[in-house]
Amino acid sequence: MSKKIDISKFEKKMIIRNIEEKDFDAIIEMQKLCFPNMEPWESEHLRSHIQIFPEGQFCVEFDGEIIGSCSSLIINFDEYDDQHTWDEITANGYITNHDYEGYNLYGIEVMVHPDYRRMKIGHRLYEARKDLARELNLKSIIIGGRIPNYYKHAKEMTPRRYVEEVTMHNIYDPVLTFQVMNGFTLKRINPNYLDDDRASLRYATLMEWNNIDYRPTVPKRQFKTSFPVRITTIQYAMKKISSFEDFAVQCEYYTDVAASYHSDFAVFPEIFTLQLLSFLPEKSPSLAIRRLTEFTEDYIELFTSLAVKYNVNIIGGSHFVEEEGKIYNIAYLFRRDGTIEKQYKLHITPNERKFWGISGGDQVNVFDTDCGKIAIQICYDIEFPELARIAVDKGANIIFTPFCTDDRQGYLRVRYCSQARAIENQVYTVLSGTVGNLTDVENMDIQYAQSGIFSPSDFTFARDGIVGECQANIETVVVGDVDLEILRRNRRAGSVNQLKDRRHDIYQINYKQ
């Protein structure tokens, strides 16, 4: 009697799924094989893709190996010039311009491992995109397709003639022929689409697949003339108190002020919780900080309740927190829906290291809020331009900087750098600092601050790039509106465009996280 055959040993499973971080290395190596003369993805590009639009990033896994992948984003194509470039339509590969309210899925990359071609891997990826377009009720899929065999015919025919010949199946092109066979139709031909696509002589075909199941019901996007976000930044007085309850009363007062002006954000300064040391007997700075960390849960509970009670997102300044034996300077975002995020200070000043033994964090975070994406960069961190650039590439529209400086020189370093970051990155920046004196707290003798809200420098913004600012060194607040719609337009069509005009061919920021 013959033995029953174990068919499981013959199985080789093919899975189409969304890309995960564990796939990055395999995708980058595959891309080097597929496009040997073109710049491959950086890990930070792929990380941005799955953070911003994870459902639009697909890969094919066969017997445990990644053999194909594709990337995409949603846009409202009417907002873009037909003659766009790949860099413009993808925000330089980071897809930070992804718009969930858009009408079109835009495909920015498809690749299949050379060893697995003619297994309809590309077709499967295209079908996954079509299924996604149907699921999200998108009008169409648009792609800027390469024509990699054009260089063989460039001497005898124009790009238009070449495309016509391929469309009529008189010439084979591995990309354009495939797209035509998958139901895409030609819209136009774009020159200078992708700088390193030498085989296509930088031409690309703008192709579209129309979703016949699209249901034009209520408009997906209500076009706005403005998207105002109101910010109250608090210039907080460091004065002696006798209990945590005194501290809570002062914090609630300012949160109430912000809410009374219908603010979307209330911003407190860096390490303003050191005010709690004014009623603790410990005089040694390093030991006092350990005592301060004992208030962490009370601090978090206080600001979580204030954010919900007053319906305002709170940048809770920063607070020293002990984690696994180390002290970190952490800024918290308390959303008005009760959720919490945190950003560790990355760069530690000599003073913080000497007196308090503070350790630095290791991640640049960008947080989703009901007013768009924001970042928090604590005091010294705003003086390092790489951090702001990374945050903006991840989608940040506002960078909040809680700070604490003791003299005018220190303050001006923070202020000038904050305004520079606003200009360099076409982003709003916000400062919130401490004033007053804590005579009984070691290493917190004097304070200098002039808190403010800053914008890029262009016609559509405040004349001096200052939305609003406090008087120096007094306990007060400043309230100002920033407009995210104006910011979006400025990034697309400002007098200058620092984000678009970066020279990725000669420099880049390598974010290692």
Active site residues: 270, 345, 379
Q: What are phi and psi of 421, to 5 degrees?
A: -60, -35
What is the torsion angle, in degrees rounded to the nearest 10, for the CA atoms of residue 447, residue 448, residue 452 and residue 454?
Answer: -120
Specify which residues 476 forms β-bridges with: 235
Cβ proximity of 85 and 122 under 8 Å: no
Mode of pairing for the β-strands spanning 185-190 and 452-454: unpaired
Cα–Cα dist 366/399, whole Å: 9
Cβ proximity of 35 and 199 under 8 Å: no
What is the rounded end-to-end Cα distance, in angstroms, of the chain? 59
Mode of pairing for the β-strands spanning 367-369 and 140-146: unpaired
* Per-position DSSP letters for 124-139, written without gaps between them: HHHHHHHHHHHHTT-S
Beta strands in 166-318 (DSSP E): 185-190, 204-210, 228-238, 265-268, 313-316
Q: What are phi and psi of 229, to 5 degrees?
A: -130, 120
* Per-position DSSP letters for 426-438, written without gaps between them: T-EEEEEEEEE--
